[in-house]
Amino acid sequence: MTYQPPLADIRFILRDALQAPAQLQALAPFAEADEELLLQVMEESGKFVASAVAPLQRVGDEAGCRFEQGRVTTPPGSREAYQAFWQAGWPALACAPEDGGQGLPWVLEGVLYEMLSAANHGWTMAPGLLHGAYECLRHHGSGELKARYLARIASGEWLATMCLTEPQAGSDLGLARTRGAAQADGSYRVSGTKIFISGGEHDLTDNIVHLVLGRLPEAPAGPKGLSLFLCPKLLPDGARNAVHCERIEEKMGLHGSPTCVMRFDEATGWLIGEPHRGLNAMFVMMNAARLHVALQGIGLLDAAWQKADAYARERRQMRAPRPAGAPAAGGPDPIIEHPAIRRILDVQRAWIDGGRLLAYRTGVELDLARHHPDAARRAQAQSWCSLVTPVLKAAFTHQAFHGASDCLQVFGGHGYVREWGIEQIVRDARVTMIYEGTNEIQAIDLLVRKVLPDGGKALGELLLSLRAGLDAGRAADADVLRRFAELRYLTATLAEAARTRPLLASEAADDYLRAVALALLAWAWTQIERAPGAQAPRWSAPAAALRARVLPEFDLRLKLLQALCGPLPG
Amino acid sequence: MTYQPPLADIRFILRDALQAPAQLQALAPFAEADEELLLQVMEESGKFVASAVAPLQRVGDEAGCRFEQGRVTTPPGSREAYQAFWQAGWPALACAPEDGGQGLPWVLEGVLYEMLSAANHGWTMAPGLLHGAYECLRHHGSGELKARYLARIASGEWLATMCLTEPQAGSDLGLARTRGAAQADGSYRVSGTKIFISGGEHDLTDNIVHLVLGRLPEAPAGPKGLSLFLCPKLLPDGARNAVHCERIEEKMGLHGSPTCVMRFDEATGWLIGEPHRGLNAMFVMMNAARLHVALQGIGLLDAAWQKADAYARERRQMRAPRPAGAPAAGGPDPIIEHPAIRRILDVQRAWIDGGRLLAYRTGVELDLARHHPDAARRAQAQSWCSLVTPVLKAAFTHQAFHGASDCLQVFGGHGYVREWGIEQIVRDARVTMIYEGTNEIQAIDLLVRKVLPDGGKALGELLLSLRAGLDAGRAADADVLRRFAELRYLTATLAEAARTRPLLASEAADDYLRAVALALLAWAWTQIERAPGAQAPRWSAPAAALRARVLPEFDLRLKLLQALCGPLPG
């Protein structure tokens, strides 16, 4: 089966559980965007995904990308679908009207990319990188650069890349060696080799705009000596720039996306932002880019669940156990009636639905952080994005891969062969745990860079703000309140112990991120259960699976963390 | 890097931790096989694996198998390696001397296949199926059939298949529709379509001997109406039998092994064993076959660990956190010094080394079950194999896939591309969770078919026998004693509750198997730690990782199971 955009589910989370349309319409730039408009755009984007992008998923994997003499050919149909995509205005959904965008809330872009990734992760890679480049250029580019590139990136007429990684510089970008040398005309000559460049070369668009991290001659060593350069494939006069694709990688999955080794050979480029502040220029888009990846995870998991759920309703093997006194079936039962299969499916739904609520909420917070009139509310939204984004990126990409593998198991041997398409999702999903910062880096980002420096204050405030909406008299809410309290106590313990034990934070980071993710997931479901209609089995079965099967890991992680902290002194 | 057979580690577990050679030599058929001989055979087999089989792993994945007009071509080098393999006598290692075998203990065959699977899982599939067919024919074949086929299967001159699955009959073999009709000459006409037949057709050997599950005309419905037929590719007179390969599957991995759809079109066959007792004829080899798969898991995980460990020692990214007062490094540290990476590596070693001890011990028990002079000891060994085998199959194939994926993570983006070969291991390993009975089926086998029917008595006796060797005064032993006691109490609780709740056992099966696996793993490490030299960091680091990171899951599973059982009545 081909992925079906789950429009009713998305509407339920956006409108019924989050009341997102009302919150967004209260912001000045979105005053015209009422609930009807938002939901209509969401539904139209779903139709585009289903009709133009989903049907290319299989051929993208099987035909893959071809490389010949520096040129890359994308799988059949990719170019046509991309041309239809940008010409319909989808890339510009959340771009500013002054850049030619539609000025709609970010969360609609998030929903669009969740569906795109679910339908066809490989195809979605190239357009997915536009948005970071747009933000980066919009906030840090010179007037001249913006005039030349911003509208065409916003519209998607030209695609863009982020050229960060080098063979010796992966998680540690400070080791990058690419160099930029100033020229008399204000441009730079950029030289170096970049690897793992998604969409570094392709036939989807005529021009490709590369954002390249490199060093100026006088740069200090390490990450604080990196500058950001814009190097287009085609120069403003139409000439080919000295930007070469050397080869594309053979990968586990994601065959529809060309992963390029790019050589910059005294290529012409222009500085974006200030010298040595290249990483800073990229921070502006980091939360949105990581949230994109979290949504990829949610989308891929939903696509895997859709396949497994449909198969489990059709496939009959053996009689399922029945409650005492229930009539025995005449023949083999649909395997969805076997407890091990039912559990796999319900557990994935617990992650998908809760994840959607958390990710969409974070999307709304991104919008609030930009547009809310009150500075304190903007700061609060910024703090939410800063703390929650790495949690969602790591937890939902982890679940995408592992949950998709569990969905593969539902098919038995049929899952291991190509026929049903489930093994492709497992292979495609694996990379999301690695790119945009590995999940281990997300954990360090959360605990070492964000939670511990203020002794857990910002996280504590976030949990307090969520607590305010809970009702200790409801069992599910009380359970979340307990988890929040334990998390806050643990955070204080960690902060205290980490002061004298420099290794502790790195040792604790992965478990800590999991504990936060599970507490947030538990909270998300209390919000889902408040929405009208959430008593239906569609929602009550995953809620039960969450409490019986998913949340017990929270206590395990807490125990591991307490053991790491050891007894507190004094 | 290419897989290096870990001969010193295997020797340590076999000889120093298990004292396997002495136990085996005490059995009459192995009186001549002293420690020196056993270890020498093990080392020679390692040399063969390293020189002839490991170098073909990559080409097996990339070139794969080709199908043309009913013929299958295996990847370059496969046939030559296989011919060298059987001519050197490796398939016949543990076969009976009267069948032309070498009559060595089973455990040597197990070690050989662990290394073969680690080196080249795809290539190993075809010879791996010989051993089940050999056992099946040896115990249930008529004199005439044995005279015609047994020696050539034992030697590996002819390969064999197990044809069980049909499109509508996977885990539920009782749904099989293949038919066999008796002929006047005592042969049968066998007709039907079988899927997922590893090595159903290939160019490794001239003849292929298919063991086919099907139904006689008068057979009752369900699994008790299945008979087993032997259908060779070439008939005794040299004519081609009506056995056709219709296509081979495109799979997630294991590209070196042709997975065939086989059509039997009134093919000539002969009955193995009694009519309607086909599944019974297969039981004789089930434990050994499942133990083979557990060893595949251990081997694949070891191969993944070898790659990740080597990479983590070379690759330098960022400074690692250091204890207070330790001198700072001058540049980026090898990533093995980062806690998240170190943990991934040590956790895999905890599983691999403990798994080896458990699997080799089970191999020794297989030998004891066959050859011990005392019937009570044979029964005890049989009980060990019956209870422990499904646990090892499920737990170590689960860990192979998930642990190999963790090892991939050590490589970051470099793990997702083909270059280092780690993603191949993840893809190859995935199938081990499915075949020879899915891991969910293993869990049902353990709890529903083996533990609950006698109220947990056999499992209790097994744990008691292990308890006898522990010393409550040692912390690690006391910890295992606690887990055993909890497991026995829980088993009693489950047995009691399951009497009135027919669904409980299926709901509890997966958690129960995990709990048993973790308790056995904890016990295995107490045995490793008793061996001389186990104080070295090589062994103490994984032991620490086991206790800090792996075993806490035991308590989680117990809690989940207790919640499932609910409060006991009365």
CA A503, CA A490: separation in Å to the nearest integer?
Answer: 17
The alpha carbon of residue A154 is apart from the nearest alpha carbon of chain B, in Å, by: 28
Extract the residue ranges of chain A whose pLDDT is less than 70. Answer: 329, 568-570
ipTM score here?
0.97
Interhelix angle A278-314/A375-410, rounded to 10 degrees, is: 40
Q: Which chain A residues have a beta carbon less than 8 Å from that of B339? A: 503, 506-507
Chains A, B: CB pairs < 8 Å: 183
- Domain A7-139 maps to which CATH number in 1.10.540.10, 3.30.450.40, 3.40.50.1860, 3.90.1150.10? 1.10.540.10
Interface test with B, best of A255, A406, A417 (most B CBs within 10 A): A417
Task: Identify which of B434, B347, B392, B385 has the alpha carbon closest to the alpha carbon of residue B519.
Answer: B392
Min Cα separation A285/chain B (Å)? 21
B263-273 burial: b if 16+ Cβ within 10 Å, else e: bbeebbbbbbb
The answer to whether the Cβ–Cβ distance between A560 and B552 falls below 8 Å is: yes
HSE value, Cβ hemisphere, 13 Å, CA-based, for A506: 18
Q: Between chains, do B556 and A560 touch, taking CB under 8 Å as contact?
A: no
Task: Give the right CATH number for B159-277 from 1.10.540.10, 2.30.40.10, 3.60.10.10, 2.40.110.20.
Answer: 2.40.110.20
Q: What is residue B443's three-state secondary structure?
A: helix
Angle, in degrees to the nearest 10, between helices B475-498 and B552-565: 20
Ordered per-residue pLDDT tens for chain B, 570 residues = 899 999 999 999 999 999 999 999 999 999 999 999 999 999 999 999 999 999 999 999 999 999 999 999 999 999 999 999 999 999 999 999 999 999 999 999 999 999 999 999 999 999 999 999 999 999 999 999 999 999 999 999 999 999 999 999 999 999 999 999 999 999 999 999 999 999 999 999 999 999 999 999 999 999 999 999 999 999 999 999 999 999 999 999 999 999 999 999 999 999 999 999 999 988 888 889 999 999 999 999 999 999 999 999 999 999 999 887 787 767 899 999 999 999 999 999 999 999 999 999 999 999 999 999 999 999 999 999 999 999 999 999 999 999 999 999 999 999 999 999 999 999 999 999 999 999 999 999 999 999 999 999 999 999 999 999 999 999 999 999 999 999 999 999 999 999 999 999 999 999 999 999 999 999 999 999 999 999 999 999 999 999 999 999 999 999 999 999 987 554
Contacts of B320 in chain A (CB under 8 A): 506
Chain B residue numbers with beta carbons less than 8 Å from the beta carbon of A556 are 552-553, 555-556
What homologous superfamily is domain B7-66+74-139 in, according to CATH? Acyl-CoA dehydrogenase/oxidase, N-terminal domain (1.10.540.10)
| B233 in Cβ contact with B240 (< 8 Å) | yes
Taking an 8 Å cut-off on Cβ atoms, the answer to whether A563 and B548 are in contact is yes
Active-site residue, selected from the candidate residues B218, B250, B436, B496: B436
Q: Which residues of A touch B409 (CB under 8 A)?
A: 433-434, 438-440
In what helix (H) or strand (E) does residue A107 lie, and over which residues does it extend? helix A106-128
Which structure tokens are listed for B24?
A: 């085996």
With CA atoms as reference, report the closest residue to B476 among B392, B560, B540, B395: B540
Residues of B in contact with A427 (CB under 8 A): 252, 427
CATH number of this structure's domain A159-276, picked from the four choices 3.20.19.10, 2.70.70.10, 2.40.110.20, 3.90.1170.50:
2.40.110.20
> For strand B208-214 and strand B159-163, is the pairing parallel, antiparallel, or unpaired?
parallel
Q: How far is B226 from chain A (nearest CA, A)?
A: 16
**Quick one: DSSP state of residue B326?**
P
Q: How far is B258 from chain A (nearest CA, A)?
A: 12
pLDDT in tens, A120-160: 999 999 999 999 999 999 999 999 999 999 999 999 999 99
Torsion on CA atoms B415, B416, B418, B424, rounded to nearest 10: 80
Alpha-carbon span B433 to B78, nearest angstrom = 25
Residues 6+ apart with CB under 8 A from A372: A27, A378, A381
Cβ distance B556 to A553 less than 8 Å, yes or no, reads yes
The minimum CA-CA distance between B324 and chain A, rounded to whole Å, is: 6
Residues of A in contact with B257 (CB under 8 A): none
Report the residue from B412, B426, B552 with minimal CB separation from A556: B552
Q: Please report residues of A whose CB lies closer than 8 A to that of B259.
A: 417
B346 in Cβ contact with B354 (< 8 Å): no
Domain spans, chain A: 7-139, 159-276, 440-570
- Report the residue of chain A nearest B500, measured CA to CA: A324
CA B227, B228, B229: angle at the middle one, nearest 5? 120
The candidate with the shortest Cα–Cα distance to A303, out of A140, A441, A471, A119, is A119
Tell me if B563 and A556 make a contact (CB, 8 A cut-off). Answer: no
Q: Is A436 a catalytic residue?
A: yes
Q: How far is A499 from chain B (nearest CA, A)?
A: 10
Per DSSP, chain A holds a count of helices (H) and strands (E) of 19, 9
d(CA A240, CA A256): 25
Catalytic residue among A157, A436, A461, A507, which?
A436
Say whether A556 and B560 touch across the interface (CB within 8 A). Answer: no
Contact B434 A415 (CB under 8 A): yes
Task: Give the 3-state secondary structure of residue A177.
Answer: coil
CB contact under 8 A, A433 and B196: no
pTM, 2 dp: 0.98
Nearest to B5 by CA among B66, B70, B50: B50
Q: Are B527 and B18 in contact (CB under 8 A)?
A: yes
Of A172, A402, A503, Cβ closest to residue B323: A503
Nearest CA among A535, A411, A523 for reference residue A478: A523
Question: Would you call B435 and A413 a contact, using CB atoms and an 8 Å cutoff?
Answer: yes
Contact across the interface for B170 and A413, Cβ inside 8 Å: yes
